Amino acid sequence: MKAAELRVRLAQRAAQHLQRRRRTVTASESGGPGVVVDGQRLVNFCGNDYLGLKSHPALAEALAGCAARAGTGSGASHLVTGHGVEHERLEADLAQFTGRARALLFSTGYMANLAAVTCLAGRDSRVVMDRLCHASLIDAARLSGARLKRFAHADAGAAALAVQRTAPGTADLLVTDGVFSMDGDLAPLPQLAGVATAADACLIVDDAHGLGVMGATGRGSLEHFNLDERAVPVLVGTLGKAFGCFGAFIAAEEDYIEWLLQTARSYLYTTALPPSVAAAARAALAVSVAEGWRRDRVLGLAERLRRGAAQAGVPLLPSLSPIQPVPLGDSARALAVSEELFAAGFWVAAIRPPTVPKGSARLRVTLSAAHSEQQVDALVEALARALRKLPEIPHAAA
């Protein structure tokens, strides 16, 4: 496409209230949820720092200390000269944390999901996937060349039908998020594990938003449902959300990990994480285990927000996680309410298509252990005021 056509398409997106705006953020010196955006001080209620670890001094100290010893970059891919002792130690810690034989470190969650699907499915394979899976999983299935069938969200019965109808034979991969990033709900993992077992399929779970938060000890959605690697052979996780750092991993039994190490293009052909980042991630993992109160706190704040929202008449989608979406439907209204909150001192992003299905725009409120009860209560009050002020946006595009 030429520039003139791109200008037309960009204008169309803006007219449909789908144009995105990038804002530059200055973090709070105190390390809490406060930020400065466009010169205004705000309380951040739309990040993924669920445990409040992003500014934890132990992570900063581990990163700085390792950088002083090992430098600022890894210098190469893992299979050339980029795989260092901190990477090795982090993979061992992640395997122990998830109860798996091995873990393989990736630079991003997107790259990990590309590897998980493209290396385990091919042109003669079939992939059955929840309709609301993360974009990286959808892209991975398409890139693999496999036959892709998407089933109704969180519907194990629909998944079973999709497996049966994916001829010839059964699905090779059944894929789902553990906690869905835009809805905050949990996949019906026990039922999906049963479907996968009956179909002789491999169940892959991307638990980016569950690890560190869900489960009795923060081991994620699988711990929440008491599922092991026999039920879920391949687990994908990230280090940039609850663990407040950067990177991602796949945890599985020995043969899966060795196959990925040998064949995953998103692992083979990219520079390894800086060793200092791996050191910081190890510190984050240790803090998350030692300070279990962080998990209790963020889930308690999510429940507090739900109680307050119910009393104030603020609608919320069903969710047990720190992700608490406010459904608004209309993209223009979602933007307008988000701006009202911004003016009131709260940063809550408007989530619009294509990130969510058409007609399901929402505000994605996320809680952190760093938030205070007073901040949560004040957000609920501001939300209620904004919704009363903006009951609807006439003639707005969804």
Confidence check: pLDDT of 394 > 80: no
Half-sphere exposure of 349 (CA within 13 A, CB side): 18
Cα–Cα distance for residue pair 109/107, rounded to 1 Å:
7
Active site residue 17: no
Segment 74-94 shows an average pLDDT of 97
Confidence check: pLDDT of 170 > 60: no
Residue 106 lies in a domain: yes
Higher pLDDT, 341 or 12: 341
* 8 A C-beta contact, residue 214 and residue 221: yes
Take residue 27 and report the two structure tokens written for it. 């973090």
Residue 8 lies in a domain: no
Q: Hey, what amino acid is at 36?
A: V
Take residue 377 and report the two structure tokens written for it. 């209560």
Strand partners, 362: 327, 351
- Lowest-pLDDT range of 33-42, 206-215, 325-334, 360-369: 33-42
Percent of the chain with pLDDT over 70: 96
Segment 314-324 shows an average pLDDT of 96
Strand partners, 206: 177, 236
Cα–Cα distance for residue pair 331/152, rounded to 1 Å:
23
Last residue of a domain, one of 237, 265, 290: 290
**What is the reported pTM?**
0.92
The CA-to-CA distance between both ends of the chain, in Å, stands at: 26
Q: Which of 17, 54, 78, 209 is catalytic?
A: 209
By the 10 Å C-beta count (0-12 exposed, 13-18 middle, 19+ buried), 9 is classed as exposed
Segment 133-157 shows an average pLDDT of 95
Q: Looking at residue 395, what is its pLDDT?
A: 42
Question: What domain range is 298 assigned to?
Answer: 19-48+292-389
Whether 171 and 286 share a structural domain: yes
Active site residue 241: yes
Whether 134 and 264 share a structural domain: yes
- Cα dihedral 202, 208, 212, 216, rounded to 10, equals -40
Question: How many residues are present in the chain?
Answer: 398
Q: How confident is the model at residue 393 (pLDDT cuts 50, 70, 90)?
A: low
Q: Which of 181, 288, 319, 321 is catalytic?
A: 181
Q: Looking at residue 31, what is its pLDDT?
A: 67
Higher pLDDT, 4 or 346: 346
Whether 194 and 210 share a structural domain: yes
Cα–Cα distance for residue pair 302/367, rounded to 1 Å:
6
Confidence check: pLDDT of 75 > 90: yes
Whether 126 and 242 share a structural domain: yes
Whether 324 and 278 share a structural domain: no
Residue 30 lies in a domain: yes
Q: How confident is the model at residue 2 (pLDDT cuts 50, 70, 90)?
A: confident
Residue 3 lies in a domain: no
Collapsing DSSP to helix, strand or coil, 294 comes out as helix
Residue 57 lies in a domain: no
Residue 58 lies in a domain: no
Whether 253 and 325 share a structural domain: no
Whether 284 and 339 share a structural domain: no
Segment 28-42 shows an average pLDDT of 82
Last residue of a domain, one of 290, 316, 349: 290
Residue 5 lies in a domain: no
Q: Looking at residue 18, what is its pLDDT?
A: 79
* CATH code for position 156: 3.40.640.10
Last residue of a domain, one of 257, 290, 323: 290
* CATH code for position 338: 3.90.1150.10
Confidence check: pLDDT of 360 > 50: yes
Q: Looking at residue 30, what is its pLDDT?
A: 62
Confidence check: pLDDT of 6 > 90: no
Whether 44 and 81 share a structural domain: no
Cα–Cα distance for residue pair 238/103, rounded to 1 Å:
12
Take residue 130 and report the two structure tokens written for it. 């929840």
Segment 77-81 shows an average pLDDT of 96
Percent of the chain with pLDDT over 90: 83
Whether 39 and 74 share a structural domain: no
Half-sphere exposure of 100 (CA within 13 A, CB side): 31
Q: Which residue in this structure is represented by tokens 């439907």?
A: 329
Q: Looking at residue 396, what is its pLDDT?
A: 41
Take residue 4 and report the two structure tokens written for it. 């003139």
Cβ-Cβ contacts under 8 Å for 194 (sequence gap 6 or more) = 156
Number of structural domains found in the chain:
2
Q: Looking at residue 16, what is its pLDDT?
A: 83
Whether 77 and 95 share a structural domain: yes
Q: Which residue in this structure is represented by tokens 């069938």?
A: 149
Sheet strands side by side (includes 323-329): 323-329, 361-366, 350-351
Whether 158 and 255 share a structural domain: yes
Residue 129 lies in a domain: yes
Whether 356 and 240 share a structural domain: no
pLDDT, tens digit (0-9, with 9 covering 90-100), for 378-388: 999 999 999 99
- Cα dihedral 214, 215, 216, 217, rounded to 10, equals -80
- Lowest-pLDDT range of 106-110, 166-170, 225-229, 273-277: 166-170
By the 10 Å C-beta count (0-12 exposed, 13-18 middle, 19+ buried), 122 is classed as exposed
